[in-house]
Amino acid sequence: MNILEFANSLPDHRQEIKIRHLSTDIIFITVVAVICGVQDWEDIEYFGYCKESFLRKYLLLPNGIPSHDTFNRFFSNLYPQVMESQFRI
């Protein structure tokens, strides 16, 4: 399973009307940033801007790079057990 397949396998509990960024974009940026040693939401956002041309090869990013608040909110609403179980597949 690649990162995008993993991202698609996770439930998205956000309210449809409030969605500006694709869950696959948020998860992909976060996973790649963490692999590169990034440790907080602000730095994940900064990583996204620094690597935007690379990320656009794999992601749609229809509204650009998500903010650090968006990353935080998205992952705050994910159950860690669900994410861990998908990593184990």
> Would 58 be classed as within a structural domain?
yes
Number of domains in the chain: 1
Total length of the chain: 89
Per-residue pLDDT, 10? 85
CA distance 59 to 64: 10
> Would 78 be classed as within a structural domain?
yes
> Would 55 be classed as within a structural domain?
yes
> Would 63 be classed as within a structural domain?
yes
What is the token pair recorded at 12?
A: 């998205």
> Would 42 be classed as within a structural domain?
yes
> Would 11 be classed as within a structural domain?
no
| Structural domain of 83 | 1-6+31-89
Q: What averages of pLDDT result for each successive group of 10 residues across the chain (89 residues)?
A: 86 90 96 97 99 98 98 91 76
> Would 75 be classed as within a structural domain?
yes
Q: Looking at the whole model, is its pTM more than 0.75?
A: yes
